[in-house]
Amino acid sequence: MATTKKQVDGNNLTVRVTKTVTVHPKSLHPQQIIHLSNLDRQCPMLMYVVFFYKASFAYRNLSLDSVFNSLKSGLEETLSTWYPAAGRLSLNQGDGKLNLWCNNGGAVLVEAVTGAKILELGDLSHYNEFFEYLAYKPAFQGNFSEMPLIVAQVTRFGCGGYSIGIGTSHSLFDGPATYDFLRAWASNSAILKEKRSTQLYKPVHERGSLLVGNHQGLTKLPESGSSATRAAAIDHLYQLIKQAMAGQTQNFGGSRNLPNMENSNLVLRTFHLSGAMIESLKSKVFGDRRGSFSCSSFELVAAHLWKARTKALGARKGAMVCLQFAVDIRNKMHPPLPKGFSGNAFVLASVALTAEEVENGSHEATVEKIKAAKNSICNEYVIAYNQALDGGAQGSLPPINELTLVSDWTRMPLHTIDFLHAHAAYVSPLFIPMPQVAYFIQNPNDLRGIDVRIGLPPQSLKAFSHYFLTNLQ
Protein backbone atom coordinates (compact mmCIF):
# COMPACT_ATOMS: atom_id res chain seq x y z
CA MET A 1 0.00 0.00 0.00
CA ALA A 2 1.09 3.56 -0.64
CA THR A 3 2.97 5.39 2.10
CA THR A 4 3.71 9.10 2.24
CA LYS A 5 5.96 10.96 4.66
CA LYS A 6 6.01 14.62 5.64
CA GLN A 7 8.12 16.41 8.21
CA VAL A 8 6.11 18.61 10.58
CA ASP A 9 7.89 20.50 13.37
CA GLY A 10 10.88 18.18 13.07
CA ASN A 11 8.79 15.01 13.18
CA ASN A 12 8.50 12.65 10.22
CA LEU A 13 4.77 11.99 9.98
CA THR A 14 3.67 9.04 7.88
CA VAL A 15 0.32 8.38 6.23
CA ARG A 16 -0.22 4.83 5.00
CA VAL A 17 -3.07 3.94 2.66
CA THR A 18 -4.60 0.59 3.61
CA LYS A 19 -7.58 0.32 1.30
CA THR A 20 -8.90 1.90 -1.92
CA VAL A 21 -12.33 1.05 -3.33
CA THR A 22 -14.67 2.35 -6.00
CA VAL A 23 -18.11 3.11 -4.58
CA HIS A 24 -21.11 2.74 -6.90
CA PRO A 25 -24.69 3.92 -6.30
CA LYS A 26 -26.83 1.48 -4.37
CA SER A 27 -29.49 1.90 -7.06
CA LEU A 28 -28.01 2.36 -10.53
CA HIS A 29 -29.42 5.18 -12.66
CA PRO A 30 -29.97 4.89 -16.44
CA GLN A 31 -26.99 6.35 -18.26
CA GLN A 32 -27.48 9.85 -19.64
CA ILE A 33 -25.71 13.07 -20.55
CA ILE A 34 -26.49 16.17 -18.51
CA HIS A 35 -25.52 19.33 -20.36
CA LEU A 36 -23.46 21.64 -18.17
CA SER A 37 -23.89 25.39 -18.05
CA ASN A 38 -21.05 27.80 -18.74
CA LEU A 39 -21.00 28.47 -14.99
CA ASP A 40 -20.17 24.78 -14.40
CA ARG A 41 -17.30 24.75 -16.88
CA GLN A 42 -15.21 27.54 -15.35
CA CYS A 43 -13.11 25.29 -13.10
CA PRO A 44 -13.52 21.54 -13.80
CA MET A 45 -10.95 20.46 -11.19
CA LEU A 46 -11.41 18.76 -7.83
CA MET A 47 -11.69 21.07 -4.83
CA TYR A 48 -10.64 19.59 -1.47
CA VAL A 49 -11.53 20.10 2.17
CA VAL A 50 -10.41 18.10 5.22
CA PHE A 51 -12.71 17.50 8.21
CA PHE A 52 -10.92 16.98 11.54
CA TYR A 53 -12.62 15.07 14.36
CA LYS A 54 -10.60 14.94 17.55
CA ALA A 55 -10.39 11.77 19.67
CA SER A 56 -13.55 11.14 21.66
CA PHE A 57 -14.62 8.69 24.33
CA ALA A 58 -17.70 8.00 22.19
CA TYR A 59 -15.70 6.18 19.51
CA ARG A 60 -12.57 5.07 21.37
CA ASN A 61 -13.50 1.42 20.71
CA LEU A 62 -14.72 2.03 17.16
CA SER A 63 -12.52 0.37 14.54
CA LEU A 64 -11.32 2.13 11.40
CA ASP A 65 -12.88 -0.69 9.40
CA SER A 66 -16.27 0.06 10.96
CA VAL A 67 -15.99 3.78 10.16
CA PHE A 68 -14.87 3.04 6.60
CA ASN A 69 -17.74 0.61 5.95
CA SER A 70 -20.30 3.05 7.36
CA LEU A 71 -18.99 5.83 5.11
CA LYS A 72 -19.02 3.47 2.14
CA SER A 73 -22.59 2.35 2.80
CA GLY A 74 -23.73 5.94 3.28
CA LEU A 75 -22.03 7.03 0.07
CA GLU A 76 -23.68 4.21 -1.88
CA GLU A 77 -27.07 5.38 -0.69
CA THR A 78 -26.32 9.06 -1.31
CA LEU A 79 -25.07 8.43 -4.85
CA SER A 80 -28.39 6.79 -5.68
CA THR A 81 -30.05 10.22 -5.41
CA TRP A 82 -27.06 12.38 -6.30
CA TYR A 83 -26.30 10.10 -9.26
CA PRO A 84 -24.29 12.60 -11.39
CA ALA A 85 -21.63 12.46 -8.64
CA ALA A 86 -20.98 8.84 -9.66
CA GLY A 87 -20.39 9.87 -13.27
CA ARG A 88 -17.58 11.47 -15.22
CA LEU A 89 -17.03 14.61 -17.27
CA SER A 90 -17.27 14.08 -21.01
CA LEU A 91 -15.85 16.27 -23.76
CA ASN A 92 -18.28 17.03 -26.57
CA GLN A 93 -16.30 16.50 -29.76
CA GLY A 94 -18.59 18.86 -31.65
CA ASP A 95 -18.09 22.03 -29.62
CA GLY A 96 -15.21 21.05 -27.33
CA LYS A 97 -17.25 21.69 -24.18
CA LEU A 98 -17.54 19.54 -21.06
CA ASN A 99 -20.77 17.85 -20.02
CA LEU A 100 -21.75 15.37 -17.31
CA TRP A 101 -21.80 11.72 -18.31
CA CYS A 102 -23.94 9.90 -15.76
CA ASN A 103 -22.46 6.42 -16.22
CA ASN A 104 -22.45 5.03 -12.64
CA GLY A 105 -18.65 4.94 -12.81
CA GLY A 106 -18.51 5.53 -9.06
CA ALA A 107 -16.67 7.59 -6.48
CA VAL A 108 -13.37 6.59 -4.85
CA LEU A 109 -13.07 5.97 -1.10
CA VAL A 110 -9.70 5.44 0.59
CA GLU A 111 -8.78 4.18 4.08
CA ALA A 112 -5.52 5.32 5.69
CA VAL A 113 -3.72 5.40 9.02
CA THR A 114 -1.11 7.64 10.59
CA GLY A 115 0.77 7.57 13.86
CA ALA A 116 0.53 11.36 14.04
CA LYS A 117 -1.67 13.00 16.64
CA ILE A 118 -4.04 15.79 15.67
CA LEU A 119 -2.57 17.90 18.47
CA GLU A 120 0.82 17.77 16.72
CA LEU A 121 -0.68 19.65 13.76
CA GLY A 122 -1.16 22.79 15.84
CA ASP A 123 -3.89 25.30 15.07
CA LEU A 124 -6.05 23.54 12.46
CA SER A 125 -7.23 26.85 11.02
CA HIS A 126 -3.70 27.46 9.72
CA TYR A 127 -2.78 25.68 6.52
CA ASN A 128 -0.28 22.84 6.92
CA GLU A 129 1.28 21.00 3.99
CA PHE A 130 0.70 17.74 5.86
CA PHE A 131 -3.05 18.25 5.28
CA GLU A 132 -2.48 17.48 1.60
CA TYR A 133 -1.67 13.86 2.51
CA LEU A 134 -5.05 13.47 4.19
CA ALA A 135 -6.90 13.54 0.87
CA TYR A 136 -6.80 11.12 -2.04
CA LYS A 137 -5.62 12.83 -5.22
CA PRO A 138 -5.99 10.70 -8.34
CA ALA A 139 -3.44 11.29 -11.09
CA PHE A 140 -4.88 13.46 -13.85
CA GLN A 141 -3.49 12.79 -17.32
CA GLY A 142 -5.71 15.29 -19.12
CA ASN A 143 -8.59 12.89 -19.76
CA PHE A 144 -11.61 14.08 -17.78
CA SER A 145 -13.58 10.91 -18.65
CA GLU A 146 -11.22 8.94 -16.37
CA MET A 147 -11.37 11.36 -13.43
CA PRO A 148 -13.83 10.55 -10.60
CA LEU A 149 -15.98 13.49 -9.55
CA ILE A 150 -16.01 12.54 -5.84
CA VAL A 151 -13.02 11.20 -3.91
CA ALA A 152 -12.62 10.78 -0.16
CA GLN A 153 -10.06 9.50 2.32
CA VAL A 154 -10.73 8.62 5.95
CA THR A 155 -7.57 8.60 8.07
CA ARG A 156 -7.30 7.38 11.65
CA PHE A 157 -4.76 9.26 13.78
CA GLY A 158 -2.55 7.80 16.48
CA CYS A 159 -4.54 9.70 19.11
CA GLY A 160 -7.80 8.04 18.05
CA GLY A 161 -9.07 11.03 16.11
CA TYR A 162 -10.07 11.02 12.46
CA SER A 163 -9.82 13.17 9.38
CA ILE A 164 -12.02 12.88 6.31
CA GLY A 165 -10.54 14.54 3.24
CA ILE A 166 -13.05 15.04 0.44
CA GLY A 167 -12.59 16.23 -3.12
CA THR A 168 -15.54 17.27 -5.29
CA SER A 169 -15.51 18.46 -8.89
CA HIS A 170 -16.40 22.14 -9.15
CA SER A 171 -18.16 21.33 -12.44
CA LEU A 172 -20.49 19.07 -10.48
CA PHE A 173 -21.45 21.25 -7.50
CA ASP A 174 -20.98 24.77 -6.23
CA GLY A 175 -20.48 25.48 -2.51
CA PRO A 176 -24.13 25.28 -1.34
CA ALA A 177 -24.74 22.11 -3.37
CA THR A 178 -21.56 20.52 -1.98
CA TYR A 179 -22.76 21.39 1.52
CA ASP A 180 -26.12 19.68 0.88
CA PHE A 181 -24.44 16.61 -0.65
CA LEU A 182 -22.09 16.21 2.32
CA ARG A 183 -24.92 16.62 4.81
CA ALA A 184 -26.89 13.90 3.02
CA TRP A 185 -23.85 11.60 3.00
CA ALA A 186 -23.16 12.17 6.72
CA SER A 187 -26.80 11.50 7.52
CA ASN A 188 -26.84 8.25 5.51
CA SER A 189 -23.59 7.00 7.04
CA ALA A 190 -25.05 6.63 10.56
CA ILE A 191 -21.76 6.38 12.48
CA LEU A 192 -22.66 6.24 16.21
CA LYS A 193 -26.10 7.68 15.46
CA GLU A 194 -29.42 6.71 13.97
CA LYS A 195 -29.98 7.38 10.30
CA ARG A 196 -31.97 10.55 9.84
CA SER A 197 -33.19 12.58 6.93
CA THR A 198 -31.61 16.03 6.71
CA GLN A 199 -32.33 16.54 3.03
CA LEU A 200 -34.95 19.24 2.71
CA TYR A 201 -35.31 19.06 -1.05
CA LYS A 202 -34.70 16.37 -3.62
CA PRO A 203 -31.66 17.47 -5.66
CA VAL A 204 -32.39 18.85 -9.14
CA HIS A 205 -29.48 18.04 -11.46
CA GLU A 206 -30.66 19.36 -14.85
CA ARG A 207 -29.19 22.82 -15.50
CA GLY A 208 -32.41 24.05 -17.15
CA SER A 209 -32.58 27.81 -17.64
CA LEU A 210 -28.82 28.25 -17.17
CA LEU A 211 -28.07 26.54 -20.49
CA VAL A 212 -27.02 28.64 -23.46
CA GLY A 213 -27.63 27.41 -27.00
CA ASN A 214 -29.93 24.88 -28.58
CA HIS A 215 -30.19 21.55 -26.76
CA GLN A 216 -33.15 19.40 -27.70
CA GLY A 217 -35.61 19.26 -24.84
CA LEU A 218 -33.69 21.81 -22.79
CA THR A 219 -34.41 25.46 -22.10
CA LYS A 220 -32.62 28.12 -24.12
CA LEU A 221 -31.66 31.40 -22.48
CA PRO A 222 -33.42 34.36 -24.05
CA GLU A 223 -31.29 36.80 -25.97
CA SER A 224 -30.52 40.00 -24.12
CA GLY A 225 -31.77 41.99 -27.10
CA SER A 226 -31.62 45.73 -26.67
CA SER A 227 -31.01 45.50 -22.93
CA ALA A 228 -28.09 47.61 -21.77
CA THR A 229 -27.27 45.16 -18.96
CA ARG A 230 -23.70 43.92 -19.11
CA ALA A 231 -21.73 41.61 -16.85
CA ALA A 232 -19.48 44.06 -15.01
CA ALA A 233 -17.24 41.27 -13.72
CA ILE A 234 -16.41 40.14 -17.28
CA ASP A 235 -15.90 43.70 -18.54
CA HIS A 236 -13.64 44.55 -15.60
CA LEU A 237 -11.61 41.38 -16.08
CA TYR A 238 -10.93 42.20 -19.73
CA GLN A 239 -9.88 45.71 -18.71
CA LEU A 240 -7.45 44.30 -16.13
CA ILE A 241 -5.94 41.93 -18.67
CA LYS A 242 -5.62 44.74 -21.21
CA GLN A 243 -4.00 46.94 -18.55
CA ALA A 244 -1.50 44.21 -17.64
CA MET A 245 -0.66 43.53 -21.30
CA ALA A 246 -0.05 47.22 -21.86
CA GLY A 247 2.58 47.05 -19.13
CA GLN A 248 0.98 49.82 -17.12
CA THR A 249 1.35 48.00 -13.79
CA GLN A 250 4.84 46.58 -14.02
CA ASN A 251 6.55 49.21 -11.88
CA PHE A 252 5.72 51.00 -8.67
CA GLY A 253 7.17 54.49 -8.50
CA GLY A 254 9.41 53.51 -11.39
CA SER A 255 11.76 51.65 -9.05
CA ARG A 256 10.60 48.15 -8.25
CA ASN A 257 8.58 45.29 -9.68
CA LEU A 258 5.28 44.17 -8.25
CA PRO A 259 5.36 40.91 -6.26
CA ASN A 260 5.29 37.72 -8.31
CA MET A 261 1.78 36.29 -8.21
CA GLU A 262 2.54 32.89 -9.73
CA ASN A 263 0.45 30.29 -7.88
CA SER A 264 3.49 28.21 -6.88
CA ASN A 265 5.02 31.22 -5.12
CA LEU A 266 2.03 32.07 -2.96
CA VAL A 267 1.92 31.30 0.75
CA LEU A 268 -1.40 30.43 2.39
CA ARG A 269 -2.20 32.25 5.61
CA THR A 270 -5.28 32.35 7.86
CA PHE A 271 -6.23 35.49 9.75
CA HIS A 272 -8.82 35.04 12.48
CA LEU A 273 -11.10 38.01 12.95
CA SER A 274 -13.07 37.50 16.14
CA GLY A 275 -16.61 38.73 16.46
CA ALA A 276 -15.31 41.39 18.87
CA MET A 277 -12.73 42.58 16.33
CA ILE A 278 -15.39 42.94 13.63
CA GLU A 279 -17.68 44.84 15.98
CA SER A 280 -14.78 47.11 16.90
CA LEU A 281 -14.12 47.86 13.23
CA LYS A 282 -17.82 48.63 12.69
CA SER A 283 -17.72 51.07 15.60
CA LYS A 284 -14.60 52.80 14.28
CA VAL A 285 -15.98 53.05 10.74
CA PHE A 286 -19.58 54.05 11.43
CA GLY A 287 -19.45 55.48 14.95
CA ASP A 288 -22.81 56.75 16.18
CA ARG A 289 -24.40 56.06 12.78
CA ARG A 290 -24.25 52.29 13.16
CA GLY A 291 -27.96 52.09 13.86
CA SER A 292 -28.86 53.93 10.66
CA PHE A 293 -26.28 52.32 8.35
CA SER A 294 -26.95 48.73 7.32
CA CYS A 295 -23.76 46.77 6.74
CA SER A 296 -23.04 43.05 6.91
CA SER A 297 -19.84 41.62 8.33
CA PHE A 298 -19.01 40.25 4.88
CA GLU A 299 -19.29 43.67 3.23
CA LEU A 300 -17.12 45.38 5.83
CA VAL A 301 -14.42 42.69 5.98
CA ALA A 302 -14.32 42.46 2.17
CA ALA A 303 -13.80 46.22 1.95
CA HIS A 304 -11.10 46.10 4.63
CA LEU A 305 -9.31 43.19 2.94
CA TRP A 306 -9.39 44.92 -0.46
CA LYS A 307 -7.75 48.02 0.99
CA ALA A 308 -5.10 45.97 2.82
CA ARG A 309 -4.23 43.76 -0.15
CA THR A 310 -4.04 46.71 -2.56
CA LYS A 311 -1.63 48.52 -0.23
CA ALA A 312 0.45 45.41 0.48
CA LEU A 313 0.96 44.52 -3.19
CA GLY A 314 1.99 48.09 -4.02
CA ALA A 315 -0.26 48.73 -7.00
CA ARG A 316 0.43 51.92 -8.96
CA LYS A 317 -1.85 54.69 -7.66
CA GLY A 318 -3.54 55.28 -11.00
CA ALA A 319 -3.93 51.60 -11.87
CA MET A 320 -7.36 50.04 -12.04
CA VAL A 321 -7.93 47.51 -9.25
CA CYS A 322 -10.94 45.29 -8.86
CA LEU A 323 -12.78 43.41 -6.11
CA GLN A 324 -14.91 40.47 -7.24
CA PHE A 325 -17.01 38.15 -5.10
CA ALA A 326 -19.42 35.29 -5.69
CA VAL A 327 -23.18 35.90 -5.46
CA ASP A 328 -25.70 33.05 -5.25
CA ILE A 329 -28.23 33.43 -8.08
CA ARG A 330 -30.74 30.77 -7.05
CA ASN A 331 -33.27 33.45 -6.11
CA LYS A 332 -32.01 36.09 -8.55
CA MET A 333 -33.37 34.30 -11.63
CA HIS A 334 -36.87 34.72 -13.07
CA PRO A 335 -38.30 32.28 -12.32
CA PRO A 336 -36.00 31.28 -9.43
CA LEU A 337 -33.97 28.12 -9.83
CA PRO A 338 -35.76 25.10 -8.32
CA LYS A 339 -35.19 24.23 -4.67
CA GLY A 340 -32.43 21.67 -4.45
CA PHE A 341 -30.65 22.86 -7.61
CA SER A 342 -27.31 21.04 -7.50
CA GLY A 343 -25.24 22.77 -10.18
CA ASN A 344 -23.17 25.93 -10.10
CA ALA A 345 -25.47 28.84 -9.34
CA PHE A 346 -23.19 31.80 -8.77
CA VAL A 347 -21.79 34.71 -10.73
CA LEU A 348 -19.18 37.26 -9.76
CA ALA A 349 -20.17 40.77 -8.74
CA SER A 350 -17.49 43.37 -9.34
CA VAL A 351 -16.28 46.75 -8.10
CA ALA A 352 -13.57 48.66 -9.99
CA LEU A 353 -11.67 51.72 -8.73
CA THR A 354 -8.16 53.09 -8.96
CA ALA A 355 -5.67 51.87 -6.38
CA GLU A 356 -5.52 55.39 -4.95
CA GLU A 357 -9.30 55.48 -4.51
CA VAL A 358 -9.27 52.15 -2.69
CA GLU A 359 -6.35 53.07 -0.42
CA ASN A 360 -7.49 56.59 0.46
CA GLY A 361 -11.25 56.16 0.31
CA SER A 362 -13.29 55.49 3.43
CA HIS A 363 -14.47 52.03 4.43
CA GLU A 364 -18.02 53.33 4.25
CA ALA A 365 -17.66 54.46 0.63
CA THR A 366 -16.17 51.09 -0.36
CA VAL A 367 -18.94 49.22 1.46
CA GLU A 368 -21.52 51.22 -0.50
CA LYS A 369 -19.82 50.18 -3.75
CA ILE A 370 -19.88 46.53 -2.66
CA LYS A 371 -23.57 46.72 -1.76
CA ALA A 372 -24.37 48.33 -5.12
CA ALA A 373 -22.48 45.58 -6.97
CA LYS A 374 -24.30 42.90 -5.00
CA ASN A 375 -27.68 44.51 -5.72
CA SER A 376 -26.89 44.72 -9.43
CA ILE A 377 -27.09 40.93 -9.76
CA CYS A 378 -30.41 40.21 -11.45
CA ASN A 379 -31.83 37.93 -14.12
CA GLU A 380 -30.48 40.12 -16.92
CA TYR A 381 -27.00 40.23 -15.35
CA VAL A 382 -26.93 36.44 -15.10
CA ILE A 383 -27.92 36.11 -18.77
CA ALA A 384 -25.21 38.57 -19.84
CA TYR A 385 -22.61 36.84 -17.63
CA ASN A 386 -23.52 33.36 -18.86
CA GLN A 387 -23.49 34.36 -22.51
CA ALA A 388 -20.17 36.20 -22.10
CA LEU A 389 -18.64 32.90 -20.95
CA ASP A 390 -20.01 31.04 -23.98
CA GLY A 391 -17.19 30.08 -26.26
CA GLY A 392 -14.59 31.22 -23.77
CA ALA A 393 -11.76 29.16 -22.32
CA GLN A 394 -12.66 26.49 -19.80
CA GLY A 395 -10.33 26.74 -16.85
CA SER A 396 -9.23 28.83 -13.93
CA LEU A 397 -8.17 32.47 -14.10
CA PRO A 398 -4.46 33.31 -14.06
CA PRO A 399 -3.41 35.39 -11.04
CA ILE A 400 -3.61 39.16 -11.53
CA ASN A 401 -2.16 41.48 -8.91
CA GLU A 402 -4.92 44.05 -9.30
CA LEU A 403 -7.75 41.50 -8.91
CA THR A 404 -8.93 40.65 -5.39
CA LEU A 405 -11.28 37.65 -5.29
CA VAL A 406 -13.44 36.72 -2.30
CA SER A 407 -15.49 33.56 -1.70
CA ASP A 408 -17.86 33.60 1.28
CA TRP A 409 -18.21 30.25 3.06
CA THR A 410 -19.68 31.65 6.27
CA ARG A 411 -23.19 30.62 5.20
CA MET A 412 -21.99 27.02 4.84
CA PRO A 413 -21.02 25.88 8.36
CA LEU A 414 -19.16 22.79 7.15
CA HIS A 415 -17.94 22.01 10.68
CA THR A 416 -21.54 21.18 11.69
CA ILE A 417 -21.57 18.18 9.34
CA ASP A 418 -21.26 15.28 11.77
CA PHE A 419 -19.75 12.35 9.89
CA LEU A 420 -18.85 11.08 13.36
CA HIS A 421 -20.71 11.69 16.61
CA ALA A 422 -20.23 15.45 16.85
CA HIS A 423 -19.21 18.56 14.96
CA ALA A 424 -15.77 18.70 13.36
CA ALA A 425 -13.04 20.53 15.25
CA TYR A 426 -12.26 22.33 12.01
CA VAL A 427 -12.73 22.02 8.23
CA SER A 428 -9.73 23.18 6.25
CA PRO A 429 -9.63 23.90 2.49
CA LEU A 430 -6.54 22.51 0.80
CA PHE A 431 -4.31 24.27 -1.72
CA ILE A 432 -6.51 25.18 -4.68
CA PRO A 433 -5.92 26.07 -8.36
CA MET A 434 -6.44 29.75 -7.45
CA PRO A 435 -4.76 30.21 -4.04
CA GLN A 436 -4.96 34.01 -4.33
CA VAL A 437 -8.71 33.80 -3.62
CA ALA A 438 -9.64 34.94 -0.10
CA TYR A 439 -12.00 32.50 1.63
CA PHE A 440 -14.22 33.70 4.46
CA ILE A 441 -14.82 30.71 6.75
CA GLN A 442 -16.92 30.36 9.89
CA ASN A 443 -14.78 29.50 12.93
CA PRO A 444 -16.30 26.67 15.04
CA ASN A 445 -15.19 28.41 18.26
CA ASP A 446 -16.40 31.91 17.34
CA LEU A 447 -19.53 31.84 15.21
CA ARG A 448 -19.63 35.64 14.92
CA GLY A 449 -16.03 35.74 13.77
CA ILE A 450 -14.52 35.09 10.33
CA ASP A 451 -11.40 33.13 9.40
CA VAL A 452 -9.85 34.68 6.28
CA ARG A 453 -7.71 32.22 4.27
CA ILE A 454 -5.70 33.87 1.49
CA GLY A 455 -2.63 33.19 -0.66
CA LEU A 456 -0.04 35.97 -0.77
CA PRO A 457 3.51 36.46 -2.11
CA PRO A 458 6.01 35.84 0.73
CA GLN A 459 7.46 39.34 0.45
CA SER A 460 3.99 40.88 0.92
CA LEU A 461 2.95 38.92 4.02
CA LYS A 462 4.32 41.33 6.59
CA ALA A 463 2.80 44.38 4.90
CA PHE A 464 -0.58 42.70 4.43
CA SER A 465 -0.67 41.56 8.07
CA HIS A 466 0.06 45.10 9.19
CA TYR A 467 -2.57 46.77 7.01
CA PHE A 468 -5.20 44.06 7.55
CA LEU A 469 -4.91 43.88 11.33
CA THR A 470 -4.75 47.66 11.79
CA ASN A 471 -7.98 48.93 13.42
CA LEU A 472 -8.90 45.38 14.36
CA GLN A 473 -6.92 44.89 17.58
Q: Which residues pair with 154 in a beta bridge?
A: 111, 164
**What pLDDT is attached to residue 225?**
44
Whole-number pLDDT of residue 395:
52
Give the up-direction half-sphere exposure of residue 225: CA atoms within 13 A in the CB hemisphere.
5
Q: How far apart are CA 297 and CA 167, in angstroms?
A: 29
Return the pLDDT at 194.
61
pLDDT for the residue 224: 44
Active site residue 126: no
> Domain limits of the chain?
3-210, 232-413+425-469
Domains 3-210 and 232-413+425-469 share a fold: yes
- Active-site annotation holder among 29, 35, 170, 236: 170
DSSP string, 221-251: PPP-TT-----HHHHHHHHHHHHHHTTTTSE
pLDDT along the chain (473 residues), means of 10: 55 88 96 95 93 89 92 97 97 90 97 96 95 95 91 96 97 96 92 60 91 53 55 94 75 43 78 94 83 85 97 94 97 94 96 97 96 96 91 60 95 92 92 87 94 95 94 67
- Residue pair 109/167 in contact (Cβ under 8 Å)? The answer is no
Please state which of the four CATH numbers 3.40.50.2030, 3.10.450.50, 1.20.1260.10, 3.30.559.10 is assigned to the domain occupying 3-210: 3.30.559.10
Residue range 284-318, pLDDT digits in tens:
988 877 666 788 999 999 999 999 999 999 999 99
Q: pTM for this one?
A: 0.90
Please give the pLDDT value at position 2: 64
Q: How far apart are CA 428 and CA 455, in angstroms?
A: 14
Distance CA 459, CA 63 (A): 46
At 287 the pLDDT is 83
Q: Is domain 232-413+425-469 classified as CATH 3.30.420.40? A: no
pLDDT at 39: 95
Measure the CA–CA gap between 441 and 426, rounded to whole angstroms: 10
Quote the pLDDT of residue 434. 82
